[in-house]
Structure 1
Amino acid sequence: MDSIRVFAPATVANVACGFDIFGFAVTSPGDIITLTRRDEPGVVITDIIGDGGRLPREADRNTAGIAIQTYLRHIKRTDVGVEAVLQKQMPLGSGLGSSAASAVAGVYAINELLGRPLTTRQLIPFAMEGERIACGSAHADNVGPSLLGGFVVIRSYSPLDVIRINTPATLFCTLVHPDIEVNTKDARFILKNEVSLKNTITQMGNVAGLIAGLMSPDYDLISRSLVDVIIEPVRSILIPEFNEVKQAAVDNGALGCSISGSGPSMFALSRDAETAERVGAAMQQAFLSVGITSEAYVSEINREGPKVILK
């Protein structure tokens, strides 16, 4: 195989109460990478489409490039040379796991191109290095679900322990991205280093409740547990009309609504596709009431993860 094209999905990280430990994949949007073998060793990014010229073309400064480089060093194949063309299909700084999708697409593609010397799960640490380049923190709540598909729990980072759990077949996600930008580094900087014991206990209850609700499945329990008393109150100030958008989602039948990743995108979970569509329209209208346009995506939980696209 001399060339390969791979799609990697966007993700919702944190999922309200699960800061840095919960995440799930969606069916769209996502990023696409094309890798082509070259005679000279090393990784060369020849083009990035859809970023407006904002992302670095140097491989060691690009999330996909650094993920591929780290992978090749690990398997001791620094003799391999590839050219990469990255197609960004989601906004930067969106809270949709844009940097993670690029890293996942890159490392999944190179592993496929070389005949799968590693399992998909073994690729997680290399994709995490892309996240380190992007925001200074090698977290796995975006790359984990983007690589493995489905809903994942990051039980531990040292050692890394990523668990995929079952979710209801009819659970639908609505994603709304307002046309504003929140920098991930800034969104992490404003967080408090300490939280109260009261809030910690409340959050732990919601974390346990959400997992139990998803695995049961118990939609009422899912709804009661989609509550974040630690991160959302701080980060929501970065999103105009946040409370109104969240209320619009709930009023139209959503089980719950919160910030996707570091924002400004917001997500809602619903029992069925029809409700999820209605929720999306209501959320968009709430943003539009203050002059903010937005994009909406509705999908089931993506259980597949990355996939090879046949030309």
Structure 2
Amino acid sequence: MKEEQLDKKIASFAPLAAGGISKGVKVFAPATVANLVCGFDVLGMALHRPQDLMSVRLRDEPGIVIQHTDGYQLPVEPEKNVAGAALLAMLEEVKEPPGFDITIDKRIKPGSGLGSSAASSAGVVVAANHLLGNIFSNEDLVRFAMNGEKVASGVKHADNIAPAIYGGITLIRSIFPLDIVQLSAPPLYVTVVHPQIEVRTSDARQILRKEVKLKDAIRQWGNIAGLVAGFMKNDYSLIGRSLEDVIIEPVRSMLIPGFDEVKKNSKEAGALGGGISGSGPSIFMLSREESTAQQVEYVMTEVYVKLGIDFKTYVTTISYDGVKVLEDNE
């Protein structure tokens, strides 16, 4: 960022630090579905449920203090915590940065495949930006929050971060430089089943093939283009036909017990299609009608009851708000 831009932004921050508009905010940070089957690392979608709750407040002295109220035993050192890493990246571009107290009530289970790390990373930068007088753009916030994803998985990726910040469905055309495209979509219901096992994103990346056959790449490109076109044309049939992954899913699905049966039974129940949410183990399905989404939930439940694996389900919709900010002046 250019020096003159920083000067301008810090000038707008000064009255807030002096005790004016707001000392603290609470934010709801949404779960997200990354990849959307065929769009590995380039497509993502924000959900209304579940959501993390975070409180971010300005401190009277420099430094970042993090506490969790969720019992997941996540690290609280800023450099090792995804929210801390994202906020540190932001504060590198702020002259005389203030300190922050961060309290995280994580309701999106880590390792669920529902963008748990992205929710913390996106939530903290949106909250801090609000307290600084909204001096950074959404694209800047994605750039900062990607540092949290690097802590979580070893790789900077934005397919969860972008929808968490922008809301709705997003396409990451490019990471370097960032080029984020917001996509329209027809009304859709999302059914998610989260079998209570953990699949670490870093582990799920390690098993991927390093080379892809040209015929598979061509088929995948067609599906990605078809899915984007289906969203923008409100074409449910095209959306359903395009929810196919010939590269990532055949490998990662082996880590998820019951995956093939869930997918088969969900489509028979009327779902348009779906697949692995992020790196798993959660599985999502898209439906045109709420009644179909509820029937999909039922058949997902049947599979995991039969397997004897604990699970959690959600029937929800696309969140077009992204991270939601609430004033907290306590």
2:81 equivalent to 1:69: no
- The equivalent position to 1:180 in structure 2, one of 197, 208, 222, is 197
Letter matched to residue 45 of structure 2: F
Structure 2 distance, partners of 1:104, 1:158, is 19
Question: Match of 1:3?
Answer: 24
SS of aligned partner of 1:129 = helix
Describe the superposition over 1:69-110 as per-residue Cα deviations: whole angstroms up to 9, x where unpaired.
Answer: 1111112243x0111111100111000000000001100000
- The equivalent position to 1:284 in structure 2, one of 295, 301, 324, is 301
Question: Which structure: larger Rg?
Answer: 2
* Structure 2 runs not aligned, ≥5 long: 1-21
- The equivalent position to 2:61 in structure 1, one of 36, 40, 43, is 40
2:167 equivalent to 1:156: no
Question: Match of 1:256?
Answer: 273
Question: Match of 1:97?
Answer: 115
2:38 equivalent to 1:20: no
Describe the superposition over 1:148-179 as per-residue Cα deviations: whole angstroms up to 9, x where unpaired.
Answer: 000000111121111011000x2111111011
Contact 1:178-1:295 within 8 A present in 2 as well: yes
- The equivalent position to 2:141 in structure 1, one of 123, 136, 154, is 123
* Structure 1 runs not aligned, ≥5 long: none
Give identity over the alignment, percent.
49
Runs of 4+ in 1 over 6 A off after TM superposition: none
Kindly report the root-mean-square deviation, in angstroms, between the aligned alpha carbons of the 2 structures.
1.1
Letter matched to residue 42 of structure 2: I
Distance of aligned partners of 1:28 and 1:77 in 2 relative to their CA distance in 1, 3 Å threshold: farther
Letter matched to residue 52 of structure 1: Y
Structure 1 distance, partners of 2:71, 2:278, is 20
Q: TM-score under structure 1 normalisation?
A: 0.96
Structure 2 distance, partners of 1:218, 1:35, is 41
Contact 1:255-1:270 within 8 A present in 2 as well: yes
- The equivalent position to 2:69 in structure 1, one of 49, 55, 62, is 49
Letter matched to residue 231 of structure 2: L
What's the CA shift for 1:51? Answer: 3.8
Describe the superposition over 1:223-277 as per-residue Cα deviations: whole angstroms up to 9, x where unpaired.
Answer: 1100000000000000001101111111111000200000000000000211111
Contact 1:284-1:293 within 8 A present in 2 as well: no
SS of aligned partner of 2:147 = helix
Structure 1 distance, partners of 2:223, 2:215, is 13
Structure 1 distance, partners of 2:197, 2:83, is 24
Structure 2 distance, partners of 1:270, 1:211, is 16
Question: Match of 2:183?
Answer: 165
Structure 1 distance, partners of 2:253, 2:96, is 45
Structure 1 distance, partners of 2:326, 2:192, is 24
What's the CA shift for 1:221? Answer: 0.7
**Pairing 1:290-301 to 2, within 5 Å after superposition:** 290-301=307-318
SS of aligned partner of 2:61 = coil
SS of aligned partner of 1:282 = helix
Structure 1 distance, partners of 2:271, 2:143, is 34
Describe the superposition over 1:126-159 as per-residue Cα deviations: whole angstroms up to 9, x where unpaired.
Answer: 0100000111011000000000000000111121
What's the CA shift for 1:310? Answer: 4.7
What's the CA shift for 1:204? Answer: 0.6
Describe the superposition over 1:26-46 as per-residue Cα deviations: whole angstroms up to 9, x where unpaired.
Answer: 00112121112222101111x
